[in-house]
Chain A
Amino acid sequence: MYEKNRYADGKWKTDRGEINLIGKMKSVKKSVKSSRVYIGDLIYEKMTLIFAIIVFMMVILMGYEMYINSKMSIDKFGWNFLTETTWDPVEEIYGALPSIYGTLVSSFLALLMVVPLSLAVAIYLAESAPGWLEKPLSFMVELLAGVPSIVYGLWGIFVLVPWLREEVEPFLNEHFGFLPFFDGPMYGFGMLAAAIILSIMVLPIITSISRDIMKSVPSIQKEAALALGATKWEAIKIVLKNSKSGILGAIMLGLGRAIGETMAVTMVIGNRPIISESLFDPGYTMASIIANEFTEATTELYLSALIELALILFVITIIINIAARLLVWSLEKQWKRN
Chain B
Amino acid sequence: MEAELKNYKRRLKYRKAINLIVNSLTFIAALIAILPLLLIFYYTVSKGISRLNLEFFIEMPKPVGESGGGMANAIVGTLILVGIGGVIGLPVGIMSGIYLAEFGNNKFGQLLRFLTDVLSGVPSIVIGVVAYTIVVIPMEQFSALAGGVALAILMIPTITRTTEEMIKLVPHSYREAGLGLGIPKWKTSLFIVLRTAWKGIATGVLLGLSRAAGETAPLLFTALGNRFWSTNVFEPIASLTVYIYDYARAPFEDWNAQAWTAALVLIILISLLSLTFKIITRSKYKTN
Asked if A310 and B26 make an inter-chain contact with CB atoms under 8 angstroms apart, the answer reads no
B87-104 contact mask (Cβ, 8 Å, vs A): 1 or 0:
000011101101110111
B33 sits at the interface (CB 8 A): yes
Q: Does A318 contact B (CB under 8 A)?
A: yes
> Could you tell me if A129 and B124 are in contact, using CB atoms closer than 8 angstroms?
no
27 contacts between A and B (CB under 8 A): A35-B182, A40-B186, A47-B95, A49-B99, A51-B96, A52-B96, A59-B115, A59-B118, A62-B127, A117-B33, A129-B30, A137-B34, A143-B37, A154-B260, A157-B249, A158-B43, A231-B15, A233-B22, A253-B121, A260-B124, A267-B249, A294-B129, A295-B224, A314-B122, A318-B122, A321-B118, A322-B118
Known contacts A231-B18, A267-B249, A321-B117; is-contact A154 B259 (Cβ 8 Å): yes
Q: In the complex, are the beta carbons of B123 and A317 less than 8 A apart?
A: yes
Selected interface stretch from A90-98, A118-126, A174-182, A274-282: A118-126
- On chain A, the residues within 8 Å of B100 by CB distance are 52
Q: Which of B117, B129, B153, B182 contacts A310 (CB 8 A)?
A: B129
Asked whether, in the complex, the Cβ of B118 is within 8 Å of the Cβ of A69, the reply is no
B103, B121, B182, B249 — which one has the most chain A CB atoms within 10 A of its CB?
Answer: B121
A9 interface residue per 8 A CB criterion? no
Give the chain B neighbours of A236 by CB distance below 8 A: 22
Query: Contact partner of A287 among B29, B125, B189, CB < 8 A?
Result: B125
Residues 128-151 of A contacting B (Cβ, < 8 Å): 128-129, 137, 140-141, 143-144, 146-151
CA gap between A247 and B17 in the complex, in Å: 27
Q: Contacting A147 at CB < 8 Å: which of B40, B130, B241?
A: B40
A56 nearest in chain B by CB position: B112
With contact pairs A59-B115, A321-B117 given, residues A260 and B156 touching in the complex (Cβ less than 8 Å)? no
Does A65 reach chain B (CB closer than 8 Å)? yes
Selected from A45, A124, A291, the residue in CB contact (under 8 A) with B30 is: A124
- Interface residue from B112, B137, B244 paired with A52 (Cβ < 8 Å): B112
Let me know if A148 and B123 touch, CB within 8 A. Answer: no
The answer to whether B129 and A307 have CB atoms under 8 Å apart is yes
| A153 in contact with B248 (CB, 8 Å) | yes
13 new A-B pairs (CB below 8 Å) besides A48-B103, A55-B119, A58-B156? A48-B99, A56-B112, A59-B115, A120-B25, A124-B26, A144-B33, A146-B274, A148-B215, A200-B36, A233-B18, A236-B22, A256-B121, A294-B221
Alpha-carbon distance A3/B40, docked complex (angstroms): 91
- Please tell me if A38 contacts chain B, counting CB pairs below 8 Å: yes
Query: B241–A120 contact, CB under 8 A?
Result: no
B19–A233 touching, CB < 8 Å: yes
Per-position binary interface string of chain A over residues 30-56, scored 1 when its CB falls under 8 Å from any chain B CB and 0 otherwise: 000001001011011101111110111
Contacts of B68 in A (CB 8 A): none
Distance to closest chain B CB from A106 (angstroms): 14
Query: How many residues in B have their beta carbons less than 8 Å from beta carbons of A?
Result: 89
Cβ of B252 under 8 Å from chain A: no
Q: B133 and A155: CB pair below 8 A?
A: no
- Asked if residues A52 and B99 are in contact (CB atoms below 8 Å), the reply is yes
Q: Specify which chain A residues have a CB less than 8 angstroms from the CB of B267 in the assembled complex.
A: 147-148, 151
B91 and A51 contacting across the interface, CB-CB below 8 Å? yes
Alpha-carbon distance A152/B129, docked complex (angstroms):
22
Within 8 Å CB of B211, what residues of A? 146
A154 CB contacts on chain B under 8 angstroms: 44, 244, 248, 259-260, 263
Instruction: State A321–B244 Cα separation when bound (angstroms).
Output: 30
Q: Mark A254-280, 1 if CB is under 8 A from B, else 0.
A: 001101111100010000000000000
A109 at interface, CB cutoff 8 A:
no
Give the 7 A-B CB pairs with smallest separation, nearest first.
A260-B123, A148-B214, A120-B29, A51-B95, A44-B186, A48-B99, A124-B26
CA distance A123 to B24 in the complex (A): 11
Q: Known contacts A52-B112, A65-B134; is A320 also within 8 Å of B121 by CB?
A: yes
B278: nearest residue on chain A (CB-CB)? Answer: A139
Which of B44, B99, B134 is close to A51, meaning CB atoms less than 8 Å apart? Answer: B99
Contacts of B248 in A (CB 8 A): 153-154, 157-158, 267
Within residues 77 to 95 of chain B, which ones have a CB less than 8 A from any CB in chain A?
91-93, 95
A120 to B98, CA, bound (A): 38
Contact indicator B121/A321 (Cβ below 8 Å)? yes
Tell whether, in the assembled complex, residue A262 and residue B217 are in contact, meaning their CB atoms are under 8 Å apart.
yes
Tell me which residues across on chain A come within 8 A of B186, comparing CB atoms. 38, 40-41, 43-45
Q: Once the chains bind, are B260 and A65 in contact (CB under 8 Å)?
A: no
Q: Is the CB of A263 within 8 A of B117?
A: no
Collect the chain A residues with CB atoms within 8 Å of residue B37's CB: 140, 143-144, 147
Among the listed B27, B103, B122, B259, which residue makes an inter-chain contact with A317, where contact means beta carbons less than 8 Å apart? B122
Q: Which of the listed residues B19, B117, B130, B211 has the most CB atoms from chain A within 10 Å of its own CB? A: B130
State how many angstroms separate the Cβ of A157 from the closest Cβ of chain B. 6
